[in-house]
Structure 1
Amino acid sequence: MLTRSFPRLATLRYPLVLAVALMATACGKGTESTAPAASTPAASTAATPTDTAATPAAATAPAQTRQPGPIVPPQGPAPVLGTDYEEIPGGQPWQPEPGKVEVVEVFGYICPACAAFAPTVEPWHMKLPADVNFHYVAAPFGPEWIPYAKAYYASEQLGLVDKTHMALIDAIHVKKTLPGEGDPVNEQKIADFYGQYGANPKQFLDMMQSFAVSTKINQGRQFMQKSGVTGTPTIIIDGKYRITGGKSYQDVLRIADHLIAMERAAMAGTPAAAPAAAPAAPATGTGG
């Protein structure tokens, strides 16, 4: 089972009714993991974010096209190191590109919190400035997660992510036409789903079992371990910062905007505002 490292959400163990999980927009942690090299983290006790309207129902929206927006100053207070985000010792970007700031969302298709976050993060990343690259990394936390992680990387190779990402979330969490948490794994059903978007189901299923996809699964697992990811969804900025705070999904993206701006300034060699530090604990000594 996974914990959160994102907006400090309560962990759900999935015997809970999914409808309740979605109404609460609580984080969907991984199942009891049987994947190689994946540990079983402890449960999170953090609070649930306040985005009560951000449910997967919005996943029915049509596919969007990336339209980079202008660079604008981040809004709201600067994030606090140790409260809103953590530095990743020795962290590395997922797919570095010179002159680009990288944003990664580690997610799982069967994770209810990822489904609730999707309608907020999807339009946000479609409008990120041209000097920012956004990537998904699919978490292979357990036997019910791995087929969807394989499907994500296969769809990425075929250029189908923009067409299918939100639709797949909708099929799992709203229409319930694809297996979700606690359901038997059915890779043929997943391949048939992608067949609706131009893939050949048999070839897609073969691609899911391919060496290339297996390699991406292992690379994703290694990236997550090096980045300290123990739950989904988790946002990583340039391989350096893992967002751990935020009172809502929008607030998580406020933190991301600030960290992107901080990285942009560092790349340009221009002074940037120093990140805020958590307030020191008050002294308890009486003095003499």
Structure 2
Amino acid sequence: MQRRRFSAGLLAGAALPALAQGIPAEGTHYVRLSQRAPVDAPPGKVEVLAFFWYGSPQCNTVTPALEAWAGRLPGDVLFRHVPVALRDEPFTAHQRLYYALEALGQLPALHRKVYYAIHVGRTRLDAPADMAAFVARQGVDAEQFRAAYASKEVQAKAQRARQLSAAYKIDGVPAIGVQGRYFTTAGLAGSPQRLLAVADFLIPLARKG
């Protein structure tokens, strides 16, 4: 899903030469926020947020490269996923799915499997009953999942995710926010893969304040 539909085709052809030179341009490949978004990282750390939606084909495509990239980030970078809700359903349900899996300690095992189920298995995971059945097939207790999904903790995290998405002005995914100051999207960068190259450029920029 592109941030600005009218520019996606132009970016694919015009923005990439600048990226090939290693110089992402402000206003073309990334945006500097006029008002800083909240940052949860302690002083001396750089917060990097990967905004996503399980139902996005582009998020599904970029996830393997994103996870490999996140595993190579410097020690002063704090990386985390933020599920977005571009509208109510099924976005809010997928937010709670993500945070319920996190609460149960199942994200390492099931995060990629959720994408696979939706995009390859064509499994509908838009309702709690469908999600509970899915996790049960993966060996997770369905009642524990239902309890986590309905918990105040998960609801609070989903609300925080919506606040962060609004602060970063996210209206398309995949997107990456850096230190409450910058964001880039697949559309701005030119492709989901080049999204990570722009993020690499923004992290040292954020260190400078």
TM-score range, shorter chain: 0.7 to 0.9
Q: For 1:1-288, what aligned pairs fall within 5 Å after superposition?
A: 4-5=2-3, 44-47=5-8, 76-140=21-85, 141-179=87-125, 185-244=126-185, 245-264=188-207, 266=208
Larger Rg: 1
Identity of aligned residues (%): 31
Name the CA distance, whole Å, in 2 between partners of 1:226 and 1:47: 23
Name the CA distance, whole Å, in 2 between partners of 1:171 and 1:204: 17
Identify unmatched segments of 5+ residues in structure 1: 9-43, 51-74, 180-184, 268-288
Report SS of the residue matched to 2:7: coil
Name the CA distance, whole Å, in 2 between partners of 1:231 and 1:225: 11
Identify unmatched segments of 5+ residues in structure 2: 13-19
Contact 1:163/1:197, CA 8 A, preserved across alignment: no
Structure 1, 161-170 or 91-100: larger mean CA deviation? 91-100
* Structure 1 or 2: more helix by fraction: 2
Q: How many residues align?
A: 198
Name the CA distance, whole Å, in 1 between partners of 2:76 and 2:132: 34
For residue 76 of structure 1, report the CA deviation from its aligned partner. 4.7
RMSD: 2.2
For residue 212 of structure 1, report the CA deviation from its aligned partner. 1.1
Q: Residue 27 of structure 1 corresponds to which residue in structure 2? A: none
Name the CA distance, whole Å, in 2 between partners of 1:93 and 1:78: 27
Normalization by structure 2: what TM-score? 0.85
For residue 242 of structure 1, report the CA deviation from its aligned partner. 1.1
Task: Show CA shifts across 1:71-93 (max 9, x none).
Answer: xxxx9522211111111122234
Residues 160 and 98 (structure 1 numbering): CA distance in 2 closer, same or farther, change over 3 Å?
farther
Report SS of the residue matched to 1:253: helix
Residues 197 and 76 (structure 1 numbering): CA distance in 2 closer, same or farther, change over 3 Å?
farther
Normalization by structure 1: what TM-score? 0.63
Give the partner amino acid of 1:116.
T
For residue 191 of structure 1, report the CA deviation from its aligned partner. 2.0
Give the partner amino acid of 1:209.
A
Contact 2:62/2:193, CA 8 A, preserved across alignment: no
